[in-house]
Amino acid sequence: MTEQPGDHLRRTGPAWKLLQDKILVHTRASTRNGFNLARSASEHDGIILCGADALPAICSFHRQAPGQRLQLADPDSYGDYATPDTPFRLASHSLSGQQSLFEEDQAEELRNSQQGQLYNGATASLTPTRYIRAGDRQTVAAAAQAAWGLDSQRTILTLPLDYQWLREPGDLDYLIATLADLPHIKAIALGAARNPLATRGTVIALRKLITSLERVALIRTDLAGLDAYAHGALFVSIGMQTPMRHIRPPGSTGPPMPRKSNVTTMVLHPQLMDYFRADTLRDLYGRLPGPRCDCTVCTGRSLLRFDHNLSDQEEANRHNNATWLPWADHLQRTEPGPDRRSTWQHLCYDAHNAHQELRELLSGPGALETPRWLRVWAGDPD
Ligand SMILES: [Zn+2]
């Protein structure tokens, strides 16, 4: 019998059963240099696609292999601040430049946008929540309230939270209290101009948020996804490209580009468990022999080979994925709970030591600092 749109939803259980214990790749749907999304999706547990082409790509994967892949569409609705009246970005806002006067119209449009994702073959639908300012409790309440009108088995409430939510214990407690009863999956995406976990206290606060809620996911993140996973997140998604590793406050600009280039290549160092700019990595090693990488992409080549151009960036992105995948596998093969947490802590402890060992070899002692988040993952106090 021919597969009809939406049939996959009638066969499957609630989204939280399908997504439980999964580590997804978060990537742009269209890449300028031929990255094979379908292959990436089959090598990993599944994908979250971002960008204008996300739904068409999901639809085409779905036609090829109905219901075979876990696939979600990132609404990428974080370019504006959410307000209590307009927590979501809906098509009518961009068409008319203003929100509908009628709350019922917004609710209907939100329901339609969720249905559209499912109809195209998404495993579940993510709400198009706008960027939520630190401490904006009314907007969190409005978004949670709206979620009650959406199918809890199929809808994921997206929560694009400014990292400063993690800095105020009262705000954190409010989040937990407001979201605790909501049966839907809650997908948190952290926002900051730089790394959201660079500030004291944020790593532990994020763990508190993850462990205090049921059915909570951390999406569009970096290795912080593995920490959340080890601490009981329902699922996580790790970004393939740098902008897919956290969200930014509306209007903020990213770090400056390298000289003479409009491309920044970021390289995940397998022993140091941190991402480095290609030129920073070369400067760091200086005259020392470059680190070799045994991942499936590098097959023993040096990590100093990468430069700031599109083709190197694409290869580095594949190297990055191939580097964290064995860590993800290791965690997934370990029993959830204390064993998984301790496996993750050991991985990070080794990386913490690797920083120390490399520092001793470097001429400039201040050249390599162990990132705060890694020290905390490895067991240091925050
Ligand atoms: Zn590699």
CA torsion 162-130-143-189 (nearest 10°) is -50
Tell me the CA–centroid distance for residue 90 and ligand 1, in Å: 41
In the DSSP assignment, the letter for residue 290 is P
The Å distance, Cα 369 to ligand 1 centre, comes to 22
56 Cα: distance to centroid of ligand 1 (angstroms): 31
Q: What is the pTM of this model?
A: 0.94
State the pLDDT at residue 10.
62
Do 142 and 87 contact (CB within 8 A), yes or no? yes
Q: How many CA atoms lie within 13 A of 259 on its CB side?
A: 2
- Residue-range domains of the chain with CATH: 7-244 (3.20.20.330), 266-377 (no CATH)
Distance of CA 276 from the midpoint of ligand 1 (Å): 13
Query: Which residues have their alpha-adjacent CB atom under 5 A from ion ligand 1?
Result: 293, 295, 297-298, 319
Pairing of strands 266-269, 274-277: antiparallel
What is the CA(366)–ligand 1 centre distance, in A?
26
pLDDT in tens, the chain (382 residues): 455 656 666 667 899 999 999 999 999 887 665 556 666 666 789 999 998 889 998 998 888 887 778 999 999 999 999 999 999 999 876 655 555 556 778 889 999 999 999 999 999 999 999 999 999 999 999 999 999 999 999 999 999 999 999 999 999 999 999 999 999 999 999 999 999 999 999 999 999 999 999 999 999 999 999 999 999 999 999 999 999 999 999 999 878 888 788 899 999 999 999 999 999 999 999 989 999 999 999 999 999 999 999 999 999 999 999 999 999 999 999 999 999 999 999 999 999 999 999 998 886 667 799 999 999 999 998 8
CB 347 within 8 A of CB 230: no
| Spacing, Cα 221 to ligand 1 middle (Å) | 20
Please state, in angstroms and rounded to a whole number, the distance separating the CA atoms of residues 53 and 63: 15
State in Å: Cα 93 to ligand 1 middle: 44
Look at residues 231, 240, 249 and name the one whose alpha carbon lies nearest to residue 275. Answer: 240
**CA 60 to ligand 1 center in whole angstroms:** 30
- Tell me how far the alpha carbon of residue 20 lies from the centroid of ligand 1, in angstroms: 28
Cα-to-centroid distance, 268 and ligand 1 (Å): 8
Span from the CA of 244 to the centroid of ligand 1 (angstroms): 20
Q: What is the whole-number distance in angstroms between the Cα of residue 309 and the centre of ligand 1?
A: 17
Ligand 1 centroid to Cα of residue 380, in Å, is: 28
Distance 266 CA to ligand 1 centre (A): 12
Cα of 204 vs centre of ligand 1, distance in Å, is 30
Separation of CA 30 and ligand 1 centre (Å): 23
